[in-house]
Homo-oligomer: A and B are copies of this chain.
């Protein structure tokens, strides 16, 4: 999930200077309307250490009319608080109607920290998250708007930030924050990812914001906040509809601020024919061995293949199936659903084909159609595809809880390379069946798909079901990459 907020998004100083006055004006305007409509707003400020959460809190206070804002920092619990159920401290500090409460640290902080330091179990954490969802739903039903920000820094950026801080405050090596937090970065990321996933609901979504660049961070916070409040005002008194809630942070409109995960793929990577041959043999042999071991150990695998038209999904799949015993795998090509499938929930047709213990299922396109083609083409409405991220996460979570190894591949391609391949397909007689008008139509929607892919990866790449973005301009390189990833995942699982 966090790979999608490690894109180096930034905004220029001039963009900041230009946009800030507009943001301030609009924020004050919507704040007035909130007051008028008696709507309470809870802003949750969370994220990794060093991301500048304090700076953001100050910024929001600077931008808004502070008479109706309360900022609460939740440090260690007081005696008073420890003597009562844990949520008491939060109930005390809830903003009254028409007010804004900024929660610096919140109900999320302690359970996540406790899990990182193994004071509680995964099941305990789940229970806590369920309780949080219930609390938030209760407040939302009672008219509140909850805006949840999660500020992220990559491991390196965090180290750098903390090093600066250590210097600034002249901390001794022993007290260096850099050291303290670096040690727990991975554990923290993994626990946070799960917590975010479990509490990213239709009515109170998380906004993940990349915090490396301060201009980008603050502009995005301002714009997202304005948009969320506007949507809430539009929902009116009922506040009961899932629709019309912004689910993505709103970055400033600047090229550097809107790069997606696909812009980061290095498409120049290639393999020579010789290297390819060598490595193909190596990884195919390894995969053959690993799938037999998996069979013995009863560990199932699922591999999902998505990508641009003509990206080479079929070819990659054939290199895999060539190396697995035919009794052990099944390839499912996902086309339009049958009548029988249409009479069921859209996930039903994927549940059908879940491999039995020790087997491999390869999906040529998959349940992600829901948030790709169905989204872009409007076959599913916004509410439907929006909620399907969570449904898909739940589905995959049930698979990996059961021990299934999940790999998800998006094969990326430059737009030029796609054009080249389309033309080739039209020219070569035995390739013509592969190219249709639909492919050309899809190509026109390249940018919509790009956005859909970015959001898909943000919302569904999880520790146990990671998306691999594969550079596909060179088919040979892509095939080997995929074989490698599959081998790695199986090795880890069987270790």
Contacts and interface: CB of A to CB of B under 8 A. Distances in A.
Contact of A340 (B96, B135, B345, B399): B96
Interface in A144-183: 144
A234 B76 CA distance: 51
Contact of A127 (B85, B96, B127, B402): B127
A80 B83 CA distance: 51
Interface string A64-107: 00000000000000001011111110011010111000000000
Interface string A122-149: 0110110011001100110110100000
A246 interface: no
A162 to B, nearest CB: 34
Interface stretch (A16-24, A208-216, A309-317, A348-356): A348-356
Given A126-B123, A344-B94, A354 B88 contact: yes
Contacts of A85: 354, 398-399, 401-402, 404
A109 interface: no
Contacts of A300: 83
Contacts of A127: 123, 126-127
Contacts of A144: 345
Contacts of A141: 387
A355 to B, nearest CB: 8
A448 to B, nearest CB: 25
| Identical subunits present | 2
A423 B346 CA distance: 66
A391 interface: yes
A394 interface: yes
A121 interface: yes
A294 to B, nearest CB: 13
Contacts of A130: 126, 130
A357 interface: yes
A139 B395 CA distance: 13
Contacts of A348: 91, 94
Contacts of A391: 134, 138
Contacts of A83: 298, 300, 356-358
B344 A96 contact: yes
A326 interface: no
B123 A343 contact: no
A131 B352 contact: no
Given A83-B298, A123-B121, A138-B391, A352 B92 contact: yes
A131 B130 CA distance: 10
Contacts of A40: 343
A306 to B, nearest CB: 22
A459 B142 CA distance: 21
A348 B95 CA distance: 11
Contact of A88 (B38, B97, B343, B351): B351
Contact of A97 (B131, B343, B390): B343
Given A38-B343, A85-B399, A94-B345, 8 more contacts: A40-B343, A83-B358, A85-B402, A88-B351, A98-B343, A126-B130, A130-B130, A144-B345
10 contacts: A84-B356, A85-B399, A85-B402, A98-B343, A121-B123, A126-B130, A130-B130, A138-B391, A240-B241, A240-B242
